[in-house]
C-alpha cells in the first residue's frame, strides 16, 4: 500500500513547488494576455485554451517546468476531475495556485488517484507530490486516504492470499493498532451460536469464523458495524458461471469497508463505543456443502429455507446482525456486496442504502454530497416480504420471482434487527470496473466517507 503522506506534503514544503494555476474559460483570456509572447505561442501550439479538464505545461527560458495551467468548468462538477493531473505530470512537487470549488475533495481525489496495488508487481513510477494548503486539515485527509487505500488493498488481494485467516489477520492488525479487544468465534462454538455462518462456510477447507472487536468506553454511545466477509463465492451448489466468479475475490468488500471505516473512527478518537462484527467464510463446494431446499435455524431462531446457495451473504449477515442487535446499539450499520440487482438498478458507482430512519437518511444524503461519496436511498417496501415467503419455514433466502432482489435482501436482513435504535443497510459493489479520475480500476471503498462524516458530526471528538 503506498503511503499517502509521501504524496501529500505539508504546507511548509511549498517553497520551490511548481504552481498549478486554475483557470476558467472566462478568466483565461486575461491570464493569457499577461504572459510573454513566447509563453502564449507555446500554449496555443500545445492546444491549451483554458478548456475544462485540460492542462497546459509552461516551461521557463531554461526549459524547466515553470507552471501548469488547469482548466475548470464554470459550473462545479466532480472534484476528483482535478486528479487527472496525477497521470500526466512528471514527478515533482506541486502546489495549488488559485481557486478550486471543492479544494478538499480535489486534494483527496489526487491522493486516491496516486494509489497503486503493488503486492505482486513493483516498479511503478512515483506519483507527483502535492503540497497541502495551510487551510486544509492534512491529518484528516491522510486518515481518509489511508483507510481508502487499505480497503482497496484488501479487496484487490486474490482469494489465495485473502481467505478467512488473512481477513482475520487484517482485522487483528487494525484492532491492535488502537488497542481494541478482539475475539474470534470458530469451530464447535460457531456451529452452536452462529449456525448460518458455520453452515455457509463449512464446505471450505478454510474454516469459517466470526471476527468481533470492541473499542472505546463502555458507557459511550454504541455504534456497531457489520461487514460481509465472503472471501470467495463460488455460488455453492448453485454454482456461478465462470464469468461470474472472475471478481468474486471482492465478495469480502463489505468487511473491507467496515474495517476502513473503523480505522478512520479510531484514528479520529471519536466519542463512542465501537463494535465491529465480520462473519468470514468461503462459500465453497464439497460433500458437506449446504443444499437448495435445506432449512437453517439462525441464531435469532428464525428458520430459513434455502432457495439459492448463491444468496449466502444474507445468511451470514443475519447471524451477525442478530448478535449486534442483542445489545441495542444506538446505530447499527451493515455493509455488503450483496446483490447483482443493486448494480442493475443503480450501476457500479451508486450504492443503495436502506433504512426506516428518515433523519438518518437525510443526514446520509447530505454527507454523501459533501464527501463526494455517492449514495442513494431505496425503500424498505414491506409488502415485498411476500416475495421471500417460504411454504415450510419462516423465510426463504432468495424467493422465486427474481423481482426486487436488492430490496428483498434488505427486508431479509431487517428481520434480524429489532432493538437497534437506528439501522441502515448498504448494498455496495466495492469495485470500479472502468477507471475514472480518483477511482482506478479495481477494489473500491464506498460509503465510508459519507458515513464517517455523519458519525463524526454525531460523536465528534
What the block records as the C-alpha cell of 350 is 451508486
Give the chain's count of helices (H) and strands (E): 15, 20
Q: Is 204 exposed, middle or buried (0-12, 13-18, 19+ CB in 10 A)?
A: buried
Which is nearest to 131 in space by CA: 233, 12, 306? 12
| Cβ 200 vs Cβ 208: under 8 Å | yes
Q: Measured at the alpha carbon of residue 396, what is the angle toward residues 254 and 331, in degrees to the nearest 5?
A: 40
| Cβ 282 vs Cβ 231: under 8 Å | yes
| 315: phi then psi, degrees, rounded to nearest 5 | -70, -50
| Cβ 171 vs Cβ 214: under 8 Å | no
Residue 379: CB atoms within 10 A of its CB come to 12
Q: Which residues are catalytic?
A: 240, 314
DSSP state of 288: T
CA–CA dist 17, 37 (Å, integer)? 24
* Those residues with Cβ within 8 angstroms of residue 449's Cβ, 6 or more apart along the chain or in another chain: 144, 148, 367, 371, 372, 373
Helix (H, G, I), strand (E, B) or coil at 434: coil
CA–CA dist 42, 60 (Å, integer)? 11
Which is nearest to 234 in space by CA: 206, 258, 212? 206
Nearest 10 degrees: CA dihedral of 16, 18, 24, 29? 90
Residue 359: CB atoms within 10 A of its CB come to 9
Q: Measured at the alpha carbon of residue 243, what is the angle toward residues 240 and 248, in degrees to the nearest 5?
A: 70
* Those residues with Cβ within 8 angstroms of residue 64's Cβ, 6 or more apart along the chain or in another chain: none
The β-bridge partners of 222 are 273
Amino acid at each position: 500500500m503506498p503511503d499517502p503522506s509521501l504524496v501529500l506534503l505539508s504546507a511548509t514544503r511549498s517553497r520551490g513547488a511548481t504552481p498549478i494555476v486554475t483557470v476558467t474559460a472566462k478568466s483565461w483570456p486575461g491570464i493569457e494576455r499577461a504572459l510573454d509572447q513566447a509563453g502564449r505561442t507555446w500554449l496555443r501550439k500545445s492546444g491549451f485554451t483554458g478548456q475544462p479538464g485540460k492542462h497546459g505545461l509552461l516551461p521557463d527560458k531554461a526549459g524547466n517546468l515553470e507552471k501548469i495551467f488547469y482548466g475548470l468548468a464554470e459550473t462545479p462538477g466532480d472534484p476528483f476531475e482535478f486528479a487527472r493531473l496525477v497521470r500526466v505530470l512528471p514527478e515533482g512537487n506541486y502546489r495549488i495556485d488559485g481557486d478550486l470549488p471543492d479544494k478538499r475533495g480535489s486534494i483527496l481525489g489526487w491522493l486516491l488517484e496516486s494509489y497503486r496495488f503493488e503486492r505482486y508487481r513493483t516498479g511503478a513510477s512515483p506519483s507527483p507530490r502535492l503540497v497541502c494548503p495551510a487551510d486544509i486539515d492534512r491529518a484528516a485527509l491522510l486518515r481518509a486516504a489511508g483507510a481508502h487505500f487499505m480497503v482497496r488493498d484488501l479487496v484487490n488481494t486474490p482469494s489465495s492470499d485473502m481467505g478467512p485467516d488473512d481477513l482475520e489477520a487484517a482485522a487483528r492488525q487494525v484492532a491492535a493498532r488502537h488497542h481494541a479487544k478482539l475475539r474470534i468465534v470458530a469451530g464447535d462454538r460457531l456451529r452452536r451460536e452462529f449456525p448460518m455462518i458455520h453452515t455457509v462456510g463449512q464446505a471450505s477447507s478454510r474454516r469459517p469464523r466470526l471476527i468481533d472487536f470492541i473499542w472505546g468506553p463502555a458507557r459511550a454511545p454504541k455504534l456497531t458495524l457489520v461487514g460481509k466477509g465472503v472471501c470467495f463465492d463460488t455460488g455453492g451448489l448453485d454454482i456461478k458461471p465462470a464469468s461470474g466468479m472472475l471478481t468474486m475475490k471482492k465478495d469480502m468488500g463489505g468487511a473491507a469497508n467496515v474495517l476502513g471505516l473503523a480505522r478512520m473512527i479510531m484514528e479520529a478518537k471519536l466519542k463512542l463505543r465501537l463494535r465491529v462484527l465480520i462473519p468470514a467464510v468461503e462459500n465453497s463446494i464439497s460433500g458437506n456443502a449446504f443444499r437448495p431446499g435445506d432449512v437453517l435455524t439462525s441464531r435469532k431462531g428464525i428458520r430459513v429455507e434455502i432457495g439459492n446457495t448463491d444468496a449466502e451473504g444474507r445468511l451470514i449477515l443475519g447471524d451477525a446482525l442478530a448478535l449486534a442487535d442483542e445489545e441495542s446499539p444506538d446505530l447499527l450499520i451493515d455493509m455488503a456486496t450483496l446483490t447483482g440487482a443493486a448494480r442493475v438498478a443503480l450501476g457500479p458507482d451508486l450504492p443503495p442504502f436502506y433504512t426506516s430512519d428518515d433523519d438518518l437518511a437525510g443526514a446520509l444524503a447530505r454527507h454523501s454530497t459533501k464527501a463526494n461519496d455517492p449514495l442513494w436511498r431505496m425503500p424498505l417496501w414491506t409488502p415485498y416480504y411476500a416475495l421471500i415467503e417460504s411454504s415450510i419455514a419462516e423465510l426463504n433466502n432468495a424467493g422465486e420471482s427474481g423481482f426486487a432482489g436488492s430490496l428483498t435482501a434488505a427486508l431479509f436482513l431487517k428481520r434480524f434487527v429489532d432493538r437497534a435504535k437506528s439501522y441502515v443497510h448498504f448494498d455496495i459493489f466495492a469495485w470500479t470496473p472502468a477507471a475514472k479520475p480518483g477511482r482506478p480500476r479495481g477494489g473500491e471503498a464506498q460509503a465510508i466517507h459519507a458515513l464517517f462524516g455523519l458519525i463524526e458530526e454525531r460523536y465528534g471528538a
